[in-house]
Amino acid sequence: LQMSKIYPSYFWWKDPEPEVFLNVYIFNITNAAEFIAGTDVKLKLEEIGPITFQEILEHKDVEWHDENSTLSYTVHRRIVFKESANIKGILNETVIVPNMASLSGCSYVADSWWLSRSFSLLLTSFNTRPVTETTIYNYFFNLSDPIL
């Protein structure tokens, strides 16, 4: 395909029109305390979503190389929250979700008695739990844990 700055195909390529959407679902744990205490043997989950984001694709820093009829560029992708496609205030909803830092750490050290005891002490000292309560916004953009 030959590109030229004067043809519409160049502008279609540089700033593509097709809209790409990403639908994300979160599973809220509704019986976390009972499950951790052992009174419930299965987690009860509530599906929340879809939470819709849009991918914005742009080709930037376009450089034309006339000597070999090529061009170089940098692809920029942004994901933006699509307010009009979502329930009003959905990012402010509170959810209980797995604490991936503590659960993956426990899984990693499970085969070593010494490491699992040490990791357990670390979790206790930072008061880290296997689940965390947070807003959907924080879960997507700001979630952190003291053990990290």
Considering all CA atoms of the chain, what is the largest pairwise distance in Å, rounded to the nearest integer?
Answer: 73
Alpha carbon separation from 117 to 80, 103, 112 (Å, rounded): 42, 14, 8
Query: By percentage, how much of the chain surpasses pLDDT 70?
Result: 98
Q: What is the DSSP letter of 2?
A: -
Alpha carbon separation from 12 to 22, 37, 57, 58, 70 (Å, rounded): 22, 57, 11, 10, 17
77-136 pLDDT per residue, tens = 999 999 999 999 999 999 999 998 888 888 888 888 899 888 888 888 888 888 999 999
Q: Which has the higher per-residue pLDDT, 133 or 3?
A: 133
Q: Is the pLDDT of residue 2 over 80?
A: no
